[in-house]
Structure 1
């Protein structure tokens, strides 16, 4: 399983917002420029984050994006699920039953696979729900003191 680049982009957005100096929202155009994505694509990303309650998006001249909750409450699971949906590795198309329609144990085999992948999914959910954006920033920066920049004016 490989996540899309949307997860990485969401993480970058959270870092920008977490280090935004002023209480003013970070301009969407600035985020778009920094990520190298079109403004319309950025709106899709921020919309997904806003629906999950991770960011607030304000339109207008002084609008932009800001964090909706403290970094300690934003988990990797929140970001992954906002961008990708619920974690589910196994596609479960029912192929085993179709490929072996007369096989005595096909349904049982399919159930075994479903169970194995559900357990793996749960392990990932458990892990990602424990890792917060605050944890990542602290480890990445080596400090709990976040640098503060006004990204709206910083080039």
Structure 2
């Protein structure tokens, strides 16, 4: 199983928004520029995050996108399901019954595979529901408090480097 690039793009959007100043929505054009995608494709990605309740779209000249809930309440499962739908590895097309003429062993094999993959789905769901975007950001940045900036005008490196210089 391989997730689509939409998951990675969704994660990038959450990182941008989690560190964005709460008073200033991040412009959709800025997000599409940073992700290297067209504005129309960016809207499709954002729409999936809006439907899942992860982000909100703010209309108007100074509008854009903001987080709908605290970054500590956003899990990897939320982002994966927003981009991919519910986790379900096994397609279960009924091929086993077709290939083995619906015999008792085909039925048993089909039930066994459903059970095994269902357990795998549950394990993935359990794991991804425990990993929050805040945890990943803090570990990735090596900081206990997330920096805030206005991505419409500055970069994360600019802000972190400035904070470190001010600390010295």
Q: TM-score range by the shorter chain?
A: over 0.9
Alignment of 1:4-153 (within 5 A): 4-101=4-101, 103-153=103-153
Q: How far is 1:154 from its partner?
A: 2.2
Which has the larger displacement, 54-63 or 121-130?
A: 54-63
Counterparts of 2:12 and 2:103, CA distance in 1: 49
1:8-30 deviations in Å (ceiling 9; x for gaps): 00000011011113511000000
1:119-151 deviations in Å (ceiling 9; x for gaps): 000000000000000110011011122122211
Counterparts of 2:126 and 2:15, CA distance in 1: 23
RMSD: 1.1
Aligned length: 155
Q: How far is 1:62 from its partner?
A: 1.1
Moved beyond 4 Å, runs of 4+: none
Structure 1: unaligned runs, 5 residues or longer: none
Q: How far is 1:102 from its partner?
A: 5.0
1:24-57 deviations in Å (ceiling 9; x for gaps): 1000000000000000001011100001110000
SS in 1 for 2:49: helix
SS in 2 for 1:65: strand
SS in 2 for 1:56: strand
Q: How far is 1:103 from its partner?
A: 3.1
Structure 2: unaligned runs, 5 residues or longer: 156-168
